[in-house]
């Protein structure tokens, strides 16, 4: 009995320091769980298996991991009601523009909205790269979650030319230069 009580206390204590649980319990109804900005870079020899996915974009086009093999792929998880997603949209588009003509692609993954809402967001915020619509093809979220933690929205990933996660940005991107540096480093690996 004492062992059971000790295990329960230890388990509850572990939950007490969980910032995501604390945000949920706060009940402020902001509509998202914020992530503290953090960058995780993964050395090439420590990367896992490639992420394999297939989905449909807001325009109805089919996309898959096969379409991006050989390119560095930036993947941004977002949704229209997310304040940090709206705030980082110009920086993502700026980074996208900096790699025009390079072996770099961008793909948004809208986690909850309809294709129409995602298209309206893209028009409002000037986003010119496509977004996969997870509400229509929910397996895309699982494909990424099986390979790397997606702890907050927004989260931005950089995949190497083999489709493996090379870097992860948790939370709102504070500046385009952070992302462009990660992409340049990953792009240089295949040169």
pLDDT digit string, tens, across residues 96-148: 999 999 999 999 999 999 999 999 999 999 999 999 999 999 999 999 999 99
Which value, to the nearest 10 degrees, does the dihedral of the CA atoms of residues 148, 179, 88, 47 take? 0
Q: Are 154 and 78 in contact (CB under 8 A)?
A: yes
DSSP 74: E
**Two structure tokens written together for 20:** 């995501």
Per-residue pLDDT at 61: 97
Q: Could you read off the pLDDT of 41-76 as tens digits, one per residue?
A: 999 999 999 999 999 999 999 999 999 999 999 999
Q: How many angstroms separate the CA atoms of 71 and 190, rounded?
A: 9
Q: Report the DSSP pairing between strands 38-41 and 165-170.
A: antiparallel
Q: Rounded distance, CA 174 to CA 172, Å?
A: 6
**What pTM was estimated for this model as a whole?**
0.81
Cα of first residue to Cα of last residue in the chain, in angstroms, is 61
């Amino acid at each position: 009995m004492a062992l059971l009580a000790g295990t329960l206390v230890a388990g509850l204590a572990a939950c007490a320091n969980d910032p995501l649980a604390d945000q949920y319990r706060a009940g402020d109804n902001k509509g998202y769980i914020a992530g503290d900005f953090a960058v995780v870079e993964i050395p090439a020899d420590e990367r896992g298996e490639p992420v394999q996915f297939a989905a449909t974009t807001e325009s109805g086009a089919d996309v898959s991991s096969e379409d991006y093999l050989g390119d560095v792929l930036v993947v941004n998880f977002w949704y229209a009601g997310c304040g940090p997603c709206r705030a980082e949209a110009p920086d993502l588009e700026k980074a996208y523009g900096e790699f025009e003509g390079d072996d770099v692609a961008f793909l948004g993954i809208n986690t909850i909205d309809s294709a129409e809402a995602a298209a309206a967001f893209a028009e409002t915020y000037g986003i010119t790269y496509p977004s996969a619509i997870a509400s229509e093809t929910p397996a895309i979220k699982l494909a990424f979650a099986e390979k790397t933690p997606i702890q907050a929205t927004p989260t931005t990933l950089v995949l190497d030319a083999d489709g493996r996660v090379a870097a992860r940005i948790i939370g709102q991107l504070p500046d385009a230069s952070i992302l462009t540096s990660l992409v340049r480093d990953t792009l240089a690996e295949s040169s």
